[in-house]
Amino acid sequence: MKCLLFCRREGISLFRFSRLFALVVAVMIYVCGTASAESMVFVDANDQTGYYVDQDSISKVDFTDKDGTHKFVRARIAVICADLNRRYIYAMQFEPAKMTYQIFASEVQAYDTKESIESHSTGGLPRPYTSTSMLKEIVDFILAMPTDE
């Protein structure tokens, strides 16, 4: 009941709150479900940094709202900096048509042992990427991969 009062007082519709809650639950299931198993595929490298996509985590989602239908791509991305002995894992969502991305969760690991050093659950606003960035290459790579969907 307090949640409903808070939503009304803050001007958040119950529908919007339920969508946000569903998104948070979906992200938690997504991150937890893919944390133990991974099938990383090499995308590209830049100097001592390698970029990988967990092909088992790729999903394509259509979402319709008042602005129309949005096509999203979700995947776990790994950025490996071997010279720093670090592996950065991100649960990300891309909207290729708008060239934006969101990071829902991140984890820093020691590359050699895969021991977790730190992790964060985030959920910020979509951020843009450019046509010359590594994220664009990653999105193009993901879109070219066959999926079960």
Q: In this predicted model, what pLDDT tens digit does every residue of 80-117 receive, in sequence order?
A: 999 999 999 999 999 999 999 999 999 999 999 999 99
E strand intervals along 55-115: 59-65, 68-81, 86-95, 100-110
Q: What's residue 13's pLDDT?
A: 52
pLDDT bucket at 29, cuts 50 / 70 / 90: very low
The residue that leads in pLDDT, 7 or 123, is 123
Question: pLDDT category, 145, cuts 50, 70, 90?
Answer: confident
Residue 67: what pLDDT?
Answer: 85
**Where do we find the tokens 């730190």?**
118
CA angle 33, 36, 38 (to 5 degrees): 95
Buried b (16+ CB within 10 A) or exposed e, 93-119: bbbbeebbbbbbbbbebebeeeeeeee
